[in-house]
Amino acid sequence: MYPIYMDWTILLIIPGIIVAAWAQSKVTRTYAAFSKIPTRKGLTGSESARRIMQSGGIYDVQIKSTQGMLTDNYNPRKRELNLSAQNYSGTSIAAVAVAAHEAGHALQHRENYAPLFLRSLLAPVVSAASWLLWPLLILGLMAGFAQTLDIVVYIFLGIFVFQLVTLPVEYNASRRALTALTMDGVLTEDEIYGAKKMLDAAALTYVAATLVALLNVLRFMALSQRRR
């Protein structure tokens, strides 16, 4: 039996790693480029998000500034929209696009968008299962316990399902964001083009994460079968 780092099944996840690295590089480069271009309207990311939410009838979501780069998120449980500092106070196309995307999640929440609800249900389960992943992985690979690897397969399968559910949530939020930015007059037509490029690049990271999760399922299924 070969050590894990020499196992041929690792070749299965290499394409996913390459795609994920490319997607992350693309979103970083795209964000850097559009962070240098201020919008004509001059609204900050937080102001843009507030305008979009209020146009959608949402007045009870707090907008907060958080540390880190691209740490932006919408928390449906706390009804908080968290924007990284550069997007909270920034007036660039990138800042407004990212903030509008998070506001799109708030619009989804208000309308009880089913995939968002499902993702919110899956998130704590997947998070808890992920904590068990590495101990089980080490035990299964080092001790050769096929049953343990079966559990690892199910965990990766759960992660894959979570990522799969995330895709429509993210793409729909971006679509809502671009529509709102246009309808509310936050961005001009040429600025919308830049915002779309920014959000499309960000969406690719979720596609890459889904691919990596699927390849991990296939890899550990193969490892589990070999140890029986």
Query: Where in the sequence numbering do the catalytic residues fall?
Result: 102
75 Cα distance to chain centroid:
13
* DSSP code, position 12: G
What's the CA gap between 1 and 228, in Å, rounded?
13
Helix spans in 61-188 (H) = 85-88, 93-110, 114-143, 146-183
| Cα–Cα distance for residue pair 155/157, rounded to 1 Å | 5
Judged on CB neighbours under 10 Å (0-12, 13-18, 19+), 180 is: buried
Nearest-CA neighbor of 70 among 35, 105, 44? 35
Indicate if the alpha-carbon torsion angle 186, 191, 192, 196 is positive or negative: negative
